[in-house]
Copies of this chain bind each other. A is one copy, B any other.
Amino acid sequence: MDRKVATIQDVARIAGVSTATVSRTLSKPSVVARSTREAVLDAIETTGYRINATASNLRRQRTGTVIVLLPDIANPFFSQILAGLASVLTPAQYGMLIADTQSGPDPDEQLAHYLTSGQADGVILLDGTLSPRALDIPGRPPVVMACEWMDTTTPSVRVENARGAALAVGHLARLGHRHIGHVTGPTGNVLSETRLEGFRDALSALGLPLRDEWVIEGDFSMDSGAAAARAWLALDSRPTGLFLSSDQMAVGFMGELQRRGLTVPSDVSVVGFDNIEIARHLSPGLTTVRQPRTRIGVRAAEMLLSLIDTGLLEGPTEMIEVEFMARESSAAPPR
């Protein structure tokens, strides 16, 4: 085989045309004559020519790269969103540069770094704890958030978090629960706040009581779910139904209770949020609110591409629907 890689020059020489024609054949085939087009394609075939993305990008003043900023690569929750992103970005010839905001020192500064570095044609934000002011950079590339944020002007893909919380509360209330508690996500995270707010609103809409001690602080992790179980056990008056802001916490919560000899749902009903794969494999199956994570990624990527290409967007925000999944971890309260 050839020792060196073929360049556009080689193709041009073999096809007996100029490099400009080869370039056109690849980018705007309709403007070259059929016969020359075929000659060029033949030459490409015989040389095994592949366009050099670096040179192309340099000339076109773009990078061909999208930066994805997320709080934690190792969190499986994000991997499905990544899969959705990749399914759109890869065919569009964009590479994904994945960066972990929590690994470095100051996440906000990292965001600013990427926005000014010129290393990317666009940025996708999956970290809801970054400060909106970090986006105040003139001439920055387009940004799409695939998470809720204080800021409502930046393009974003959002999930019906408040409605999800209301579905969870409604479900428990319909089963007969009157004492319903909540385990939150991390403070300062907008997902946490929105779900907590949705939880509170749903309770008061139903005329159900809410005690402060029934709101237990978590951070989405399994460990914090296990800790919430211990907190719940220590309560004087325990809610009979619990809505947890993530399935991971629900897993930790149920596991801890079961290891202490309690039973779900006889002792307490549990509802999670996310519908991670394991939810239906647990015993009891975990009742939860499904978020279509792949779809979140797909839509975010599509919005970003549209922003990069045209600078335009149909609507600034897209809302993704959630779906309630009733399983066996919730039942009528003990009497």
Contact = CB atoms under 8 A, between A and B. Distances in A.
Interface of A: 1, 3, 5, 48, 50, 52-55, 57-58, 63, 65, 72-76, 78-80, 82-83, 86-87, 90, 95-100, 103, 116-119, 138-139, 222, 225-226, 251-252, 254-256, 258-259, 277-278, 281-285, 294, 328
Contacts of A95: 65, 95, 97
A281 B257 CA distance: 10
A86 B58 contact: no
B83 A118 contact: no
A48 to B, nearest CB: 7
Contacts of A225: 281
Contacts of A255: 281-283
A80 B87 contact: no
B103 A87 contact: yes
A290 to B, nearest CB: 15
A74 B294 contact: yes
8 contacts: A50-B116, A52-B118, A73-B80, A74-B82, A79-B79, A222-B277, A255-B281, A255-B282
Contacts of A75: 79
Contacts of A65: 95
Contacts of A251: 278, 281
A78 B63 CA distance: 27
**Nearest 6 interchain pairs by C-beta:** A76-B76, A258-B283, A255-B281, A74-B83, A73-B83, A95-B97
Contacts of A52: 58, 118
Given A58-B58, A79-B75, A80-B74, A222 B281 contact: yes
B226 A281 contact: yes
Contacts of A82: 73-74, 98
A75 B284 CA distance: 23
A284 B261 CA distance: 11
A54 B75 CA distance: 31
Contacts of A285: 259
Contact of A54 (B1, B58, B226): B58
A229 to B, nearest CB: 10
Contacts of A252: 281
Contact of A96 (B58, B97, B226, B281): B97
A258 B282 CA distance: 9
A272 to B, nearest CB: 13
A136 to B, nearest CB: 11
Given A52-B118, A100-B86, A3 B283 contact: no
Contact of A99 (B54, B90, B100, B116): B90
A102 to B, nearest CB: 10
Residue of A3, A54, A72, A278 with most partner-chain B CB within 10 A: A54
Contact of A139 (B1, B118, B256): B1
Contacts of A58: 52, 54-55, 58
Nearest to A57: B54
B278 A259 contact: no
